[in-house]
Structures are given as structure tokens and as C-alpha cells.
Amino acid sequence: MHRNVALATTVAVALAAGGCGGSGSTHTESARLGKSQLVSKVNAVCAKFNRQTEVAMAALGKTTRGSASKDAFERVVASVVRYRTDAADELGRITPPDALQPSYSQFTADFRKGTALMPTGAQLQTGHDPNAGARTALNDRMSGLAKRIGFRVCY
């Protein structure tokens, strides 16, 4: 059970790090938001993503016999990728204020890249994550952008 808790923690960090975002090039809302509106909308989307990820992780953490199976890890990864993709799509429809457009576009593009760098369930289970360094660097940049913009949930 202790091994499962440690693995679940590793999975949570690998899958949820970096908050959430979307493609910077798909903004489709007709009116640009003010900064406070942007922050409110983005934080709401990220809070939803974080809740979904926590539920997926809790299911993995409830494995009681030995370590969680490769299939269990794969299911969690697939769920989190789907949640991140949905969040990215939702955030991609948000139009930030002109002054924040470059930062927001970089933030959302980095999130998409981070999703592509996510480890497989087998990699998480064995602790071998070949993209961990690249994802950490990307998450650090996203965290800086999120804090500069004013997001409180998305980093």
C-alpha cells in the first residue's frame, strides 16, 4: 500500500503539474475579456481540471493488493490526457485582453506541449519518465506566466 501511495504521488506530480491551458491560436470568443474576467474564467477551468485529475488519482490510490497494475496507470494517464485536452480546448476559446495576448498564447501553447510530453502509464509505474526534464522546464515557464497574468489555480 505504501508503494501505491508513493506511485500515486509521482503520478499526480507528473500528470497535473503545470496547471492547465489551451492553444493560443484558437481564440473564438467574440469579445476580448478584461483581465479580471480572464483570470476568473481560466481559474474556473483549471479548478475543474484539477478536480477531475484528483478523482482519477484517488481511484489509482485505492488499489490495495500490491502495486497498481500497468492497466490502472494507463487508464489514469488516458483520463488525465482527455481532461487536459478538454481544458485546453475550453481555454483556447477564451480571448484575453490585448495586453495579455502574447503571455496567454505562450501559456496555452506550452500546456499543449506539456500534454504531448506526458509519460505513459508504464513509464510512471516504473519511474522511468524520459520527458521529465523537458516537462519540468515547460511547467516552470508556464508557472511564471500564470503568476504574471494572475492565475491562482493554474500553476
Q: Which residues of 5-28 are buried (b: 16+ CB within 10 A; e: fewer)?
A: eebbeebbebbbbbbbbbbbeebe
Q: Where are the domains of the chain?
A: 2-18+32-149
Q: What is the pLDDT of residues 12-53, one digit of tens each?
A: 555 555 455 433 444 444 589 999 999 999 999 999 999 999
The answer to whether 112 touches 22, Cβ cutoff 8 Å, is yes
Angle at alpha carbon of residue 134, lines to 114 and 122, rounded to 5°: 75
Q: How far is CA 8 from the centre of its chain?
A: 16
Q: What is the pLDDT of residues 117-154, one digit of tens each?
A: 988 888 877 888 999 999 999 999 999 999 999 999 88
- Separation of alpha carbons 52 and 47, rounded Å: 9
Neighbour-count burial of 146, counting CB atoms closer than 10 A to its CB (0-12 exposed, 13-18 middle, 19+ buried): buried
Which pTM does this prediction carry?
0.76
- Separation of alpha carbons 101 and 84, rounded Å: 21
